[in-house]
Structure 1
């Protein structure tokens, strides 16, 4: 009897909440229907002035400060993986001044030297562009083609992203002459070909022929030299990891930005000289 009494009490307690829930459920649709009747369809459409949402990658890239020759730091170089060298079995003894130490059989590059040499390379690229010289970017490894083209276009330079043809500098009249435009004044004359004033080499280990041709033509080279490459073979070495696509992109972008600054400065100087010439002509004509 006691058990039956307890069950009846439990059932009564269960029935009471269900009744209240059902009452609430019956009352909710009425309120929703009233609210939906009051909302206008035009208010559901967002206005045209509402800004579109950017992808996460673009928003993060815009929030992060772009790397330039003026805000370089060791932290940025380390984040790009430029401190990781090759195995100690591939170590080139000439890179000893640039090595900080070894870690699990891998040579660690001292980024303090990398920062100094990278800033020097930026100064060289800026001065070459300021004096009206042409810069050639060379990067032929898989993954380097796009960043090589972007760096060259950003500073109005030239690029080699597929393959270095032997004789491009030493026999340029034959190799490059067929691709050059003919002279409009004298079509029978051989087309003119020009040599670059500076070469930025992103993977020098695979371009021994290009380095030899540049040395024969007295063309300075800026190259990323890893721990397995002799930095004495180029004029302006940058001790860094040449296998990291992100690190190579950082170096190429920084050098390209420096060259672009040189072009901008050159344009300002030329405009200033042109204004001075016009002013002198005006003063000369006013006298007579």
Structure 2
């Protein structure tokens, strides 16, 4: 819990005149003294602790918290706190639609960055003096209003407002977009309009600095822890990517080496000689018609042989002449009827 004595020394307990109070602030008022309401700092310290824990949770996850305070008493403190916590801020003038019409604001931011690049590169010096003067005035105006939110690419995760009566436009846009609001609420404001009200003096520089310092100190610690974790994760991711790249390169080299090495010649088995086909003997079938002439010829030859034998016998016994021996035997003529 914040030190109540420090809050007391900073004048956080001074409220507005009793006639200007808002009845909804009754529970946060300790007493009325000399026509001025005195704020209960014990309750303020408890509210600071609750708001600080909430903001710490947002920053620890890498969220964005927009700081808004355009009154003179708050401008310097808002800028210092935003730079210490690394958060966006608005300390000059709240442009209508800064959250609800963010796309238009982004175009203006893009124009500001283009003009800054022209000036840093020396391209702005190429224009005539009158055009240079116009461009520099435009850059100065954009820088004054948009420099604090140049890195705000989406609606913030939370918003801190100093004096919600003065910053009613920022309050309305935050409520419309349902952005959680942390605000210093004085005795003349409605604390029910914000999710995390902090009862306190919103008109004194010391009071604003004390409350913002107590609220944002945990944010600074959370941001440091988040950045350390993010850096560690990034280093691990880079190491993993490098390892995978190395493994991929080694695989490619091995593949290329395998392609370059000739494959051993394949020994083929000798081909087996094809077996020579053996034709089956064709059986010649002898028909009875073909057998008949052969049988007749054999019978005639047998008859001739028998006749020759008979002639030889006659020559021995009957003493045939040489002409009879040479003359073939003629068959006997059949008797005529």
> TM-score if structure 2 supplies the norm length?
0.57
CA deviation profile, 1:76-121 (whole Å, cap 9, x unmatched): 0000000111111011111111111111111111001100001111
Q: Distance in 2 between matches of 1:160 and 1:275?
A: 34
2:67–2:159: 8 Å Cα contact kept in structure 1? yes
SS of residue matched to 1:180: helix
Give the aligned CA root-mean-square deviation in angstroms: 2.7
SS in 1 for 2:44: helix
Is 1:250 matched up with 2:210?
Answer: yes
Cα distance in 1 for partners of 2:234, 2:63 equals 20
Q: Please show how residues 116-135 of structure 1 align to structure 2 within 5 Å.
A: 116-135=46-65
Distance 2:231 2:103 in 1: 34
Moved more, 199-208 or 247-256: 247-256
Q: Match for residue 170 of structure 1?
A: 100
Structure 1 pair 177/280, CA: closer, same or farther in 2 (3 Å)?
A: closer
Check the 8 A contact 1:140/1:162 in 2, yes or no. Answer: yes
Give the superposition deviation at 1:258: 1.8
Partner SS, residue 160 of structure 2: strand
Matched residue count: 211
- Mark the CA change 1:95 to 1:270 in structure 2 (over 3 Å): closer, same or farther: same
> Structure 1 75/192 Cα, relative in aligned 2: closer, same or farther at 3 Å?
closer
Is 1:216 matched up with 2:146?
Answer: no
Aligned-residue offset at 1:131: 0.8
> Is 1:156 matched with 2:116?
no
* Alpha-carbon separation, structure 2, partners of 1:124 and 1:182: 33
Secondary structure at the aligned position of 2:32 is classed as strand
Cα deviation digits, residues 177-236 of structure 1 (max 9, x gap): 2213799xxxxxxx9932111111012111111111111112111100011000000111
CA distance change for structure 1 residues 272 and 82 in 2, over 3 Å: closer, same or farther?
same
Higher-Rg member (1/2): 2
Asked whether the equivalents of residues 180 and 193 of structure 1 are also in contact (C-alpha less than 8 Å), the reply is: no
Counterpart check, 1:96 vs 2:26: yes
Corresponding residue to 1:261 among 221, 233, 258: 221
Structure 2: runs of 5+ lacking an equivalent: 114-150, 246-337
Range 261-270 or range 202-211, more displaced: 261-270
2:11 maps to which residue?
81
Report what 1:236 is aligned to.
Answer: 196
- Note the 1:1-288 alignment, pairs <5 A: 72-180=2-110, 193-273=153-233
Report the TM-score, using the length of structure 1 for normalisation. Answer: 0.66
CA contact (8 A) 1:152 1:256 kept: no
